[in-house]
Amino acid sequence: MAHKIAIIVGSLRKDSLNRKVARSICGLRGDNLDCSMIEIGDLPLYNQDLDANPPEQWTRFRQQVAAADGVLFCSPEYNRGIPGVLKNAIDVGSRPYGQSVFDKKPAAIVTASPGAIGGFGSNHQIRQACVFLNMPMMQQPEAYLGHVTDDSFDESGCLKEGPLKDLVTVLAHAFHDWVEMIHRSRQLLAEDAAHAAQGAKEHA
Ligand SMILES: Cc1cc2nc3c(=O)[nH]c(=O)nc-3n(C[C@H](O)[C@H](O)[C@H](O)COP(=O)(O)O)c2cc1C
């Protein structure tokens, strides 16, 4: 079954490596991950004063995330942490209080960097925010993609054959299965609850 996936890229750079990784993932699982890139560069900085009358960009972003079955974060690391533009998007989506569009959405995180440790610090800061926001986070495979450069991609911007593409392929399959499992489990639980309620009614 195809799942709608909102991809949020934590880099605004035109030639972003993380955006290329995100595109490669969409290409790898085009059959059952229906991916949309959700733009975050135009989101005004989060300000609680604006909650009563939110900017249209916030509303657009919230609607796009709300419509998805799962969220995939592909992000660089900035100064050993989460890029500000991505943190702002997470904050925007998480509010107003009690109306977070991230609530219960299954998610996964990929961080890519030319550096050796593949954005480990950023990856875990994103994870921390998402766990707080009640998002079931895929645990494995972890994706700290190190030594990623322009040369990791072909002319069409997709990952070249090799260990990096192999890891990303495993991740794309695992993410599909993760989203499927979360939604299917909820559906079965809802069916069980409805069945139990019907049984209780009949015995009353
Ligand atoms: C402000 C800034 C801070 C950075 N800090 C880190 C860092 O902490 N760790 C790291 O691996 N790379 C760091 N980099 C390098 C980025 O990994 C590199 O620019 C990468 O290409 C950015 O991702 P993108 O290609 O998706 O835009 C930093 C780059 C910038 C612009």
- Given ligand 1 and candidates 18, 80, 113, which is best to mutate, with the most ligand atoms within 8 Å of its CB? 113
The ligand 1 atom nearest the CA atom of 118: 11
3-state secondary structure of 81: strand
b/e burial code for range 166-178 (CB count within 10 A of at least 16 → b): ebbeebbebbbeb
Pocket lined around ligand 1, Cβ cut-off 6 Å: 11, 13, 16-18, 76-80, 113-115, 119
Write out pLDDT tens, residues 137-159. Answer: 999 999 999 999 999 999 999 99
Q: pLDDT (tens digit, 9 = 90+) per residue, 23-70?
A: 999 888 767 889 999 999 999 999 999 999 999 999 999 999 999 999
- pLDDT over 90 at 2, yes or no: no
pLDDT tens digits, 67-83: 999 999 999 999 999 99
Output the CA 202–ligand 1 centroid distance in Å. Answer: 62
Residues 6+ apart with CB under 8 A from 160: 152, 153, 154
Residue nearest to atom 11 of ligand 1 (CA): 115
- Cα distance between residue 188 and residue 183, in whole Å: 9
* Lookup: tokens for 163: 């260990």
φ, ψ for residue 14, nearest 5 deg: -55, -45
